[in-house]
Structure formats: structure tokens, C-alpha cells
Amino acid sequence: MINCLFCKIIAGDIPAEKIFEDENTFVFLDIGPVSKGHMLVIPKNHAENLTEGSVEDACSLMATVHKIAPDVMRGLGATGYNIGMNHGKDAGQEVFHTHIHLMPRYEKDSRLFVKFQPSKEELHEVAKKIREVLS
């Protein structure tokens, strides 16, 4: 999709802190995270939302979450995580390419979904920690 932000990230046209990539999915840090290590898991095939994409892509998304979540928790010292998905404008979807939010959580975390603005260096350091422990 020519004007899709996430398709441009997958293609390498827009920089992102990539965490993981396989044949069907791409994972990168959210630039407006609600927790340290908040990342987006996206299918490489463009679809505006989950139900417009294929079942195979939906299964690939969850398989990637299942694969990386334990390593992300270990790498960042998280004690839990939230999984979120906004489906459609009225649900808060801002980028119309299917994506799952994987949000690591920590002891005494407020568990609020309030975005903060980390520096590029902070994002880089978090991505580095996660990449180092992915198996």
C-alpha cells in the first residue's frame, strides 16, 4: 500500500527500531509508548484491520506474540504484559494497517495507557536490550 506508514516501515523507507522479523510479521517499538518496550506486531501483508486480512496473517500475529513475549519480559525485567488492538477509527485505530500492541508491564506500574515521548537514544537502548535476548 503506497501511502501506508507501516508498509513504508516494513520496506525500510521509514526508520524504526526493529525488534523482530520473520516471513510473515514485523515487530518494532512504538514511538508513543505507554510502557518501556511497548511494541507493535504487524503482518507484512497490508490489511486495514484484522478482519480484512487473512486468517493466516492473524494466526501469524499471535504466533509472533507468543514467541517473543517471554523473551521481551526477561530482557526488560517486566512482570507482565498487555496485548491490545484497536479495530477502526472509533476504537482508537490511528494507522490503518493491522497491528497488535504488546506492552510490557512492571511491578508498581500504573497500568495507564498514557503515551510518553522517549528520545531516539532511549528507544534504541530498549530495542537493543530486547534484541539481545530474543531466541
Q: What is the DSSP string of 70-112?
A: HHHHHHHT-SEEEEE---SGGGT--S-S--EEEEEE-TT----
pLDDT attached to residue 2: 74
Confidence category of residue 1, pLDDT binned at 50, 70, 90: low
Confidence category of residue 32, pLDDT binned at 50, 70, 90: very high
- Grid coordinates of 75: 530482557
Q: What is the total count of domains within the chain? A: 1
Question: Is the predicted pLDDT of residue 112 greater than 90, yes or no?
Answer: no
Residues 6+ apart with CB under 8 A from 69: 81, 102
Confidence category of residue 109, pLDDT binned at 50, 70, 90: confident
Active site residues: 99
- Domain span at 129: 5-133
Give percent of the chain above pLDDT 90.
Answer: 87
What values do phi and psi take at 129, rounded to 5? -60, -40
Q: Model's pTM, two decimal places? A: 0.87
Q: What's the per-residue H, E or C state across 8-59?
A: HHHHCCCCCCEEEECCCEEEEECCCCCCCCCEEEEECCCCCCHHHCCHHHHH
pLDDT attached to residue 58: 97
pLDDT tens figures, 57-87: 999 999 999 999 999 999 999 999 999 999 9
Instruction: Give the CATH number, domain containing residue 20.
Output: 3.30.428.10
d(CA 120, CA 114): 19
pLDDT, greater one: 114 or 60: 60
What is the biggest distance separating any 2 CA atoms in the chain, rounded to whole angstroms?
Answer: 42
